[in-house]
Chains A and B, each alone.
Chain A
Amino acid sequence: MLRIEGLTAEVDGKPILKGIDLEVPAGEVHAIMGPNGSGKSTLSYVLAGREGYEVTGGSATLNGVDLLAMEPEERAAAGVFLAFQYPVELPGVGNANFLRTALNAIRRGKGEAELDAMQFLKLARARLKELQMSEDMLKRGVNVGFSGGEKKRNEVLQMALLRPSLAILDETDSGLDIDALKIVADGVNALRAPDFSALVITHYQRLLDYIVPDKVHVLMQGRIAQTGGPELAKQLEASGYASVQAAA
């Protein structure tokens, strides 16, 4: 389970997270909603260990392990996966090479045998098929020349291959048509298990029709302003964040 207590963080000396308390028990999926600039991406970067996002207080643990003390790659090995809001293009790095290198790094961390090129290809093909992605994606540079939707699917492909115990999806649904949205949702739902948890950051209720969350949190100005069940998302869709602001 993910436990965040009193987490504060700043960027360029500017406080962005102002005391986040959040628990996602193993096996649960929680949604985080909130207006632009409220700190959702910042929270996801802080959990993943991005440089420049300075933690000034509080803690974050995954299954009792202190995440904040670890390097980004160690967090990944410990089971953290961040699907980026803006996936990064890596010209000159082949997608297949990238995916296999990442998968083998994670497998090494778990004490599992590394996959050779053939074994990897077999596995990757199976995942691609589930995500209705063309095999062509493996041959291209990572995210290079990918459409917005292809980039998001590539994130989900990585998640499906790496099988994290905590997935953080940062607006993976934005810019997707309804078919792509269902595929992304299927990708997350396929990972659902008693030892898997997810934080789904989204602006839209519609993703939550397909990934039904156990809880919905509203992040405003660096704090969790409200927490509720799936119905909270519907309510926000109807009345916006002003009502939360008023309540908070």
Chain B
Amino acid sequence: MNTVVHSGAEGFLHRFDGLRARLPGQRLAWVQALREGAAEQFRAAGFPTRRVEAWKYTDLRPVADAAFDEALTILGDGEGLPAPRGERRAVFVDGRFREEHSSLDGASFAVGSLAHELPRLESRLGALARPGEEALVALNTMLFEDGLVITVPAGIAGGVLELSSIASRSERPSAFHPRHLIRLEAGASLTIIEEASGPEGTRYLHNPVFEIELAEGAVLTHARIQREGVKGFQLGTVYARIEAGATYDNFTLNAGGRLVRNEIHAVLAGPKSTCHMNGAQLLRDGQHADTTTVLDHAAPDCASRQTYKTVLQGKSRGVFQGKIHVHQVAQRTDGYQMNQALLLSPEAEIDSKPQLEIYADDVKCSHGATVGALDAEQLFYLRARGIPEGKARSMLVEAFLQEAIEGVTDETARAALEEAVAGWWSKEAA
């Protein structure tokens, strides 16, 4: 008997065929070539199956089965957009930049819509992304319609910028694939607080790709709050290249969505550069969240720190895969990776795969993983002081997460993350 396996790729390829002439950059030969190349790669690869090593623990069939027949981009009006936290924010609705909801006046750096800037981006778009390696990046390259382009000039402190993404309510499964390009020139700094959300009842795919270039001595804090709707999928890929003395500080909170992958490829490309990749995954019944990091120590005297914490309830599943590759030149590397899971339910499951590949000889590299339940003795101690069980549990879960969050040095970013965690819990108690 022959079974036709629906790879889920066809709908997207059809859409590309139909939209080709209308996608941004259709008159730019280099954009066309990029898209066509990516389409070939995506056609060949399809959605990765679990036979692909990097996707061993995350099954994309629910995404494929979501029947994104036409993989529509819906263009809503921004309903349900969370209130701004600060004064500067870029708003994306269904993957498109929406000027009327954004407030970017007075920024000390260049920031704008990728669709608009496209003619000037030939050297940047695709500089780091690898559609040939990552099928979802090929999908993004084939279909991107917009994104945010940021350039912070040398020596400029850019302050805080919010990047809000919201999906619109829709009857049909929709998909959007923003491409964000962020460049900090020498000695520049910026804090990005990114928040992605969507309506509860809508099936959609948010497939963002970030290309982040940090020149010498630049400092980027990138706090990501993922609160997609319960039927939403977010499959995001971040590429970061960190030059000498620069710092990339990423914290990703995975709290929403039905199936989520947070994949980061960071390269410590110049000496004495630093990369922090921290995060928390807060999962309820039915959710699946995957954090996959690939870190290249490609220069000497660099430091990296990764602390990921996953809290699992009900029948949820968490994945952490963390690869650290220390190249031969990367002497005096200082690397640390810790991945811890707190199982609040016997049905929850965590898979963890740390991987160290070390080719330099003078290296300090450690990693560890723990899995456990809430500590009964700690819980009793709190309750014996009059603290109700629910509150006691939430205090211990917050304490568990604290170690990852306190690594975020930027106060605005940390406050936003703490608030998001507290919000998750208050919903939990309700």
> Closest CB-CB distance, B408 to chain A, in whole Å?
15
Q: Does any Cβ of B come within 8 Å of A156's Cβ? A: no
- Smallest CB gap from A75: residue in B: B384
Q: CB distance B383 to A88 under 8 Å?
A: no
Q: CB distance A101 to B395 under 8 Å?
A: yes
User: Which of B13-21, B89-97, B398-406 has 4 or more CB atoms under 8 Å from chain A?
Assistant: B398-406
**Which of these, A75, A87, A101, contacts B387 with CB under 8 Å?**
A101
- The contact string, 1 if C-beta is below 8 Å from chain B, for chain A 89-112, is 011110001100110011001000
A84-B381, A88-B381, A90-B378 in contact; A71/B389 too (CB < 8 A)? yes
How far apart sit A98 and B378, CA to CA, in the bound complex (Å)? 12
A51-B380, A84-B381 in contact; A92/B387 too (CB < 8 A)? no
- The contact string, 1 if C-beta is below 8 Å from chain B, for chain A 72-94, is 11011100011010011011110
Contacts of B381 in A (CB 8 A): 84, 87-88, 90
**Which of these, B391, B392, B400, contacts A92 with CB under 8 Å?**
B400
Contacts of A77 in B (CB 8 A): 386
Q: Does any Cβ of A come within 8 Å of B118's Cβ? A: no
Q: Does any Cβ of B come within 8 Å of A187's Cβ? A: no
How far apart sit A105 and B389, CA to CA, in the bound complex (Å)? 11
Q: Does any Cβ of A come within 8 Å of B388's Cβ? A: yes
- Smallest CB gap from B375: residue in A: A88
**Which residues between 357 and 403 of chain B lie within 8 Å of chain A, taking CB atoms?**
376-378, 380-389, 391-392, 395-396, 398-403
Q: Does any Cβ of B come within 8 Å of A49's Cβ? A: yes
> Closest CB-CB distance, B396 to chain A, in whole Å?
7
Interface size class, chain A: 20 to 34
**Which of these, B377, B378, B387, B402, contacts A73 with CB under 8 Å?**
B387
**Which residues between 33 and 53 of chain A lie within 8 Å of chain B, taking CB atoms?**
48-52
Contacts of B396 in A (CB 8 A): 90, 93
**Which of these, B378, B391, B399, contacts A101 with CB under 8 Å?**
B391
A101-B391, A105-B391 in contact; A90/B399 too (CB < 8 A)? yes
How far apart sit A75 and B389, CA to CA, in the bound complex (Å)? 13
> Closest CB-CB distance, A165 to chain B, in whole Å?
13
- Smallest CB gap from B395: residue in A: A93
How far apart sit A109 and B392, CA to CA, in the bound complex (Å)? 16
Q: Does any Cβ of B come within 8 Å of A201's Cβ? A: no
- The contact string, 1 if C-beta is below 8 Å from chain B, for chain A 134-148, is 000000010000000
Contacts of B392 in A (CB 8 A): 73
How far apart sit A91 and B403, CA to CA, in the bound complex (Å)? 9
How far apart sit A106 and B384, CA to CA, in the bound complex (Å)? 11
A92-B398, A105-B391 in contact; A72/B403 too (CB < 8 A)? no
How far apart sit A50 and B378, CA to CA, in the bound complex (Å)? 11
How far apart sit A87 and B384, CA to CA, in the bound complex (Å)? 12
Q: CB distance B385 to A76 under 8 Å?
A: yes
Contacts of B401 in A (CB 8 A): 92
Q: Does any Cβ of B come within 8 Å of A162's Cβ? A: yes
Q: CB distance B385 to A162 under 8 Å?
A: yes
Contacts of B388 in A (CB 8 A): 73, 105
Contacts of B380 in A (CB 8 A): 48, 50-51, 72, 88
Contacts of B398 in A (CB 8 A): 92-93
How far apart sit A97 and B391, CA to CA, in the bound complex (Å)? 12
Contacts of B399 in A (CB 8 A): 90-93, 141
A90-B378, A92-B400, A92-B402 in contact; A72/B395 too (CB < 8 A)? no
Q: Does any Cβ of B come within 8 Å of A158's Cβ? A: yes
Contacts of A49 in B (CB 8 A): 383-384
**Which of these, B386, B400, B403, contacts A109 with CB under 8 Å?**
B386
Q: CB distance A72 to B378 under 8 Å?
A: no
How far apart sit A42 and B402, CA to CA, in the bound complex (Å)? 33
> Closest CB-CB distance, A29 to chain B, in whole Å?
20
Q: CB distance A72 to B384 under 8 Å?
A: yes
- The contact string, 1 if C-beta is below 8 Å from chain A, for chain B 239-274, is 000000000000000000000000000000000000
How far apart sit A82 and B387, CA to CA, in the bound complex (Å)? 14
How far apart sit A88 and B380, CA to CA, in the bound complex (Å)? 9
How far apart sit A2 and B389, CA to CA, in the bound complex (Å)? 25
**Which of these, A51, A52, A92, A158, contacts B385 with CB under 8 Å?**
A158
Q: CB distance B378 to A88 under 8 Å?
A: yes
How far apart sit A239 and B387, CA to CA, in the bound complex (Å)? 43
Select the residue from A48, A50, A72, A97 with max chain B CB neighbours within 10 A. A72
**Which of these, B383, B391, B402, contacts A72 with CB under 8 Å?**
B383
Contacts of A102 in B (CB 8 A): 382, 385-387
Contacts of A98 in B (CB 8 A): 382, 385, 395
- Smallest CB gap from A158: residue in B: B385
- Smallest CB gap from A103: residue in B: B386
**Which of these, A52, A90, A92, A158, contacts B403 with CB under 8 Å?**
A92
How far apart sit A171 and B192, CA to CA, in the bound complex (Å)? 52
Contacts of A72 in B (CB 8 A): 380, 383-384
Q: CB distance B400 to A106 under 8 Å?
A: no
How far apart sit A185 and B276, CA to CA, in the bound complex (Å)? 49
Contacts of A81 in B (CB 8 A): 384
**Which of these, A76, A92, A93, contacts B383 with CB under 8 Å?**
A76
- Smallest CB gap from B385: residue in A: A102
> Closest CB-CB distance, A100 to chain B, in whole Å?
11
How far apart sit A50 and B377, CA to CA, in the bound complex (Å)? 9
How far apart sit A109 and B387, CA to CA, in the bound complex (Å)? 10
How far apart sit A79 and B135, CA to CA, in the bound complex (Å)? 62
How far apart sit A162 and B386, CA to CA, in the bound complex (Å)? 9
Q: CB distance B383 to A71 under 8 Å?
A: yes
> Closest CB-CB distance, B92 to chain A, in whole Å?
34
Select the residue from B376, B383, B401, B402 with max chain A CB neighbours within 10 A. B383
Contacts of B378 in A (CB 8 A): 88, 90
- Can you list 19 A-B pairs, Cβ within 8 angstroms, ordered by A? A48-B384, A51-B380, A73-B384, A73-B386, A73-B387, A76-B385, A77-B386, A90-B378, A91-B399, A91-B403, A93-B398, A98-B382, A98-B385, A101-B391, A101-B395, A105-B388, A105-B391, A109-B386, A162-B386
Not counting A98-B385, A158-B385, a sample of 4 additional A-B residue pairs whose C-beta atoms are within 8 angstroms of each other reads: A51-B376, A72-B383, A93-B395, A101-B387
In the A-B complex, the 7 residue pairs with the smallest Cβ-Cβ separation, listed nearest first, are: A92-B399, A76-B386, A102-B385, A92-B402, A72-B383, A88-B381, A105-B386
